Amino acid sequence: MMELMAQASADDVLIFYNDDITFARLISEMKRSCHEGQMTDELEYHCELVKLLSCCTEGKNYSTEIKCHGLLPLDDISKVMTHKDCLPQEYD
């Protein structure tokens, strides 16, 4: 988690699409992926990054949960999950 937080200032590493302009890009990537039948590299990177954050919040480390929430608030996750173009994925 410390490494992720160190990269938080780098715009090209932690891409969460949590403002209006980048959210529109995320929706566009989901539509494109649906049309092509497979996830684009950009969308796959985003999904893996969210998965990594979820792994960091497992357990009883509350300070890590707060840091993750600061990077990607639950409201932003809900906004994506409830969007009509969201592509549900299963992870192992």
Predicted confidence (pLDDT) at residue 6 exceeds the cutoff of 80? no
Condensed to tens digits (0 to 9), the pLDDT of residues 21-73 reads 889 999 999 999 888 888 889 899 888 888 888 888 888 778 888 888 888 88
**Nearby residues of 31 by Cβ (< 8 Å), 6 or more positions away:** 85
How would residue 11 be classed by pLDDT, with cut points 50, 70 and 90?
A: low
Stretch 9-32: mean pLDDT, rounded? Answer: 84
pLDDT at 28 (0 to 100): 92
pTM assigned to the model: 0.77
Per the listing, tokens 């996750």 go with 77
pLDDT of residue 88: 73
Give the integer Cα–Cα distance in Å for 5 and 7: 5
| Contact between 22 and 72 (Cβ < 8 Å) | no
